[in-house]
């Protein structure tokens, strides 16, 4: 049987992951606002790899793009930690 502490321990990484996701989305919006004039929004959306190239953004947009990458990296790391925590907790 799970205790309340165990449930919180399992849920905490996923709550942190949601925070990272919102941070990444807000940073993405900032990066899109500071893209270079020759880069369209549809290019960034449908050719997703272009969103990872800092040369497609102005210097201010590159800061937002870097934050976006940190946010998405933190999201995936938090999800990984949450899954690992859940696996370990259920095996006890």
Give the per-residue pLDDT at 6: 86
Give the per-residue pLDDT at 1: 57
Tell me which residues of the chain have a pLDDT lower than 50.
Answer: none
DSSP 9-54: HHHHHHHHHHHHHHHHHHHHHHHHHTB-TTS-HHHHHHSGGGGG-G
Total number of domains constituting the chain: 1
Give the per-residue pLDDT at 4: 86
Give the per-residue pLDDT at 2: 67
Average pLDDT, the chain: 92
pLDDT in tens, 47-68: 888 888 999 999 999 999 999 9
Structural domain span for residue 47: 4-91
What's the pTM value of the predicted model, to 2 decimals? Answer: 0.86
**How distant, in Å, are the alpha carbons of 1, 4, 28, 54, 62 from that of 66?**
43, 37, 9, 8, 6
Task: Identify which of 26, 35, 19 has the alpha carbon closest to the alpha carbon of residue 67.
Answer: 26
């Amino acid at each position: 049987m799970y205790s309340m502490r165990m449930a919180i321990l399992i849920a905490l990484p996923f709550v942190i992951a949601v925070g990272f996701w919102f941070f990444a989305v807000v940073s993405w919006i900032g990066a899109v606002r500071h893209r270079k004039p020759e880069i369209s929004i549809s290019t960034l959306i449908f050719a997703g790899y272009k969103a990872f190239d800092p040369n497609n953004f102005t210097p201010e947009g590159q800061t937002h793009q870097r934050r976006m990458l940190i946010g998405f990296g933190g999201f995936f790391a938090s999800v990984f930690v949450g899954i690992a925590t859940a696996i370990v907790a259920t095996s006890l």
